[in-house]
A and B are shown apart, each in its own frame.
Chain A
Amino acid sequence: MATTTPNYGWPVPTSTDLVKDGATAIEALGDAIDATVFGLPVAGLTLIKTQTIGTAVSSVNVTSAFSATYDNYLITVAGGVGSASGLLQLQMGATVTGYYYQYIYSLWNNSILVDAFTTGTKWLYMGGHNASGLTMHCQVLSPNLAKPTRVTALSSGSLTSDVGSTNGLLNNSTQYTDFTITPASGTLTGGTIRVYGYKN
């Protein structure tokens, strides 16, 4: 007598079922699996690349991060240590001109400050680093499309000195596949960079 699987309730034969009914049982099982899998939600965020940061490096270039598969991405950095306190910067490909940037922040108090430029060599305040760790949470929009690239990041310059949100624009049509993370001062050791793609 057929029974069912414990989670999805797919029909499966038992050891006492007749062999001659095997094909029918397999068909029923296959149909049930097909119906279940067809209805499963697709993950909205897919881990594309994981890069471990080396020892005492002053920059980390991550290649093959962006492609035509996804329009928008999330970059995170966690763990590790910085040899000094400061902010993490982000550069797209080999582009070193034309970065628009605005950092709205406070010194962990209720006075709001703003830092901005329209002619940068990279985006500043994309994350922070100090002896207690590295942190970055940055969304990158349309880096591989032949469109301007935008970024938004939650940042704290050297973790404890300031905190805020960063907006950035690279007003060109370059289709990027790689990026580089650079500490504003000192070097980085350890920690992990992860790149996720948002499902189109």
Chain B
Amino acid sequence: MATTTAKPNIQIDDLVRPMTTEEHTAYKAEQTAMAARQAEAEAKAAERESALAKLAALGLTEQEIAAL
């Protein structure tokens, strides 16, 4: 399978150009970090939803859960 070496474009006012190698390296690292952060946030949200469901299963009303 062919792979592409094309770097994404960046824009400075009206000038659009490909990233330099240095910019591309920083961009890839940032994308990786963002993906990890996004996954962490989604996991946190899922944990909260799970905790709220357990509280509801214990018999707490929506108002009681909201008051916590």
Contact = CB atoms under 8 A, between A and B. Distances in A.
Interface residues of A, number: 24
B10 A59 contact: yes
A185 B27 CA distance: 10
A107 interface: yes
A184 B34 contact: yes
B31 A185 contact: yes
B52 A187 contact: no
A187 B31 CA distance: 12
A111 B16 contact: no
Contacts of A107: 45
Contact of A57 (B10, B34, B41, B49): B10
A187 B9 contact: yes
B8 A58 contact: yes
Given A113-B48, A184-B38, A58 B10 contact: yes
Given A185-B34, A185-B35, A63 B12 contact: yes
B2 interface: no
Interface in A47-69: 51-63
Interface string A24-65: 000000000000000000000000000111111111111100
A17 interface: no
Interface of A: 51-63, 86, 107, 110-111, 113, 115, 121, 124, 184-185, 187
13 contacts: A51-B13, A53-B11, A57-B8, A58-B10, A58-B19, A58-B27, A59-B11, A60-B10, A61-B11, A61-B13, A86-B38, A184-B34, A184-B38
Interface of B: 8-14, 16, 19, 27, 30-31, 34-35, 37-38, 41, 44-45, 48-49, 52, 66
